[in-house]
Amino acid sequence: MIHQKIRRLLLLLSVLLFPVTLYYFSPALIISAGIKGIINGSFIIFSIMLIGSIFCGRLFCAYLCPAGGLQECAVLVKEKAPKQGWRNYIKYIIWILWITAVIFCYVSRGQVIKVDFFYETENGISVSNIYSYVIYYGIVFLILIPALVGGKRAFCHYFCWMAPFMVFGTKLRRMFHLPGLHIAADKKSCISCHRCDSVCPMSIDVSKSVEIDCIDSTECIQCGACVDTCPKNVLSYRMIRKEKSHGK
């Protein structure tokens, strides 16, 4: 499918650029910047993720995230997606502890001294010396090992510190009844072949969601694998407004 090829190509580019972009996704640098009262690159990127997800959900995870790209490479070793369960909540526990620390740092500083998007980078490049190479490979293994052991997108399932921003944005959209990107379903055409279930990297029960006309799980990264696999074209991308939520 050309759509999936383009998506994978974008992810590959994102992986290749990861040595440049690493610090703009850093959960540590935002803390060090917060202590100094600096709005750094990762603060700005995480804010864009949160605002963008109000309308686009977790599209970033499927099309642009370097961690997502690395994990899609790991599919060569382990293809099966991990089941959803209590482990999916680990990322929220990590996020709450971390975001509390971030807020504490900025609040205790009491004022914003400056905005420095390129904070701690060298001419905008993250990996520029031996020390940052050690950090880079540490992060790469941190992302790859869960995917190699646990399966498809296991890091997204269990540990990602960025996913909760987008889940939070999706919840805000629902709370204010705003329109947003969804995978919509035409349930009349569904033949219950369950092919969509087998390709979902986030282990969502897609065929069950078809019955409520749209996938509204906040775990959906909108990769479109289910859309492209369905033999009856039941699923499609749509900007819709959901009045109530059926999923988590």
> Is 70 or 127 the residue whose CB approaches ligand SF4 more closely?
70
> Is 109 or 195 the residue whose CB approaches ligand SF4 more closely?
195
As measured in angstroms, the least distance from the Cβ of 160 to ligand SF4 is 14
> Is 163 or 223 the residue whose CB approaches ligand SF4 more closely?
223
**163-175 vs 41-56: helix axis angle to the nearest 10?**
40
Tokens of 214: 């749209």
Exposure b/e, 53-72, CB count within 10 A at least 16 = b: bbebbbbbbbbbbbbbbbbb
Task: Name the H helices within 151-220.
Answer: 154-158, 163-175, 195-199, 206-210
As measured in angstroms, the least distance from the Cβ of 140 to ligand SF4 is 23
Residue 7's nearest CA partner among 49, 64, 55, 56 is 64
> Is 42 or 218 the residue whose CB approaches ligand SF4 more closely?
218
As measured in angstroms, the least distance from the Cβ of 103 to ligand SF4 is 30
As measured in angstroms, the least distance from the Cβ of 173 to ligand SF4 is 16
As measured in angstroms, the least distance from the Cβ of 80 to ligand SF4 is 14
Q: Summarize as ranges the residues that interact with ligand SF4 (CB under 6 A).
A: 183, 190-196, 199-202, 204, 206-207, 210, 215, 220-226, 229-230, 232, 234-235
CA 80, 81, 83, 86 dihedral sign is positive
Query: How do beta strands 114-116 and 38-40 pair?
Result: parallel
What is the enclosing helix (H) or strand (E) of 236?
Answer: strand 235-241
> Is 54 or 210 the residue whose CB approaches ligand SF4 more closely?
210
